[in-house]
């Protein structure tokens, strides 16, 4: 009984830490996948940012993020397009992380067409 009383707090901390880490990791995967979807659309479309924002929005709609924002696609290079998505995530337990976390995901894809400038 005494050993159980000594071990239980450490075991609970370990379990709560695993849950919190999984929650944050899931949020990071969501923003990274949303950035990848936005970059995929940006590569296929010819300079139409509204479609990029819509693709990111569709991916983030049913997620655990409390809020998100999308930077305008970076088309400065001739061949690559980069999309950055930032999302805010509230911790599920709040024991290890206080307040909202800002998670950033980015994706860079090569254009499937070439535009001369």
What pLDDT sits at residue 75?
A: 79
Q: Find residue 106's DSSP bridge partners.
A: 84
Number of domains in the chain: 1
What pLDDT sits at residue 76?
A: 78
What pLDDT sits at residue 15?
A: 95
Beta strands, E only, 36-114: 67-70, 80-89, 101-110
Evaluate whether residue 78 is within a structural domain. yes
Distance of CA 42 to the CA centre of its chain: 18
| pLDDT tens per residue across all 117 residues of the chain | 889 999 999 999 999 999 999 999 999 999 999 999 999 888 886 667 888 898 898 888 888 888 888 888 887 777 788 899 999 998 888 788 888 899 999 999 887 665 555
pTM, to two decimals: 0.81
Evaluate whether residue 116 is within a structural domain. no
What pLDDT sits at residue 105?
A: 93
**What domain range is 10 assigned to?**
2-110
What's 63's domain CATH number? 3.30.1300
Evaluate whether residue 14 is within a structural domain. yes
Evaluate whether residue 20 is within a structural domain. yes
Evaluate whether residue 106 is within a structural domain. yes
Evaluate whether residue 115 is within a structural domain. no
Residue with tokens 């254009």: 111
Work out the burial of residue 33: count CB atoms within 10 Å of its CB; fewer than 13 is exposed, 13-18 middle, 19 or more buried.
middle
């Amino acid at each position: 009984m005494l050993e159980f009383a000594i071990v239980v707090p450490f075991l609970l901390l370990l379990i709560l830490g695993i849950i919190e880490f999984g929650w944050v990791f899931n949020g990071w995967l969501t923003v990274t996948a949303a950035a990848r979807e936005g970059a995929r659309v940006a590569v296929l479309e010819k300079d139409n940012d509204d479609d990029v924002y819509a693709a990111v929005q569709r991916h983030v709609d049913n997620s655990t993020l409390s809020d998100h924002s999308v930077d305008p696609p970076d088309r400065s290079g001739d061949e690559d397009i980069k999309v950055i998505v930032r999302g805010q995530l509230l911790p599920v337990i709040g024991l290890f992380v206080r307040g909202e976390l800002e998670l950033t995901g980015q994706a860079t894809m090569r254009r499937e067409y070439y535009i001369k400038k």
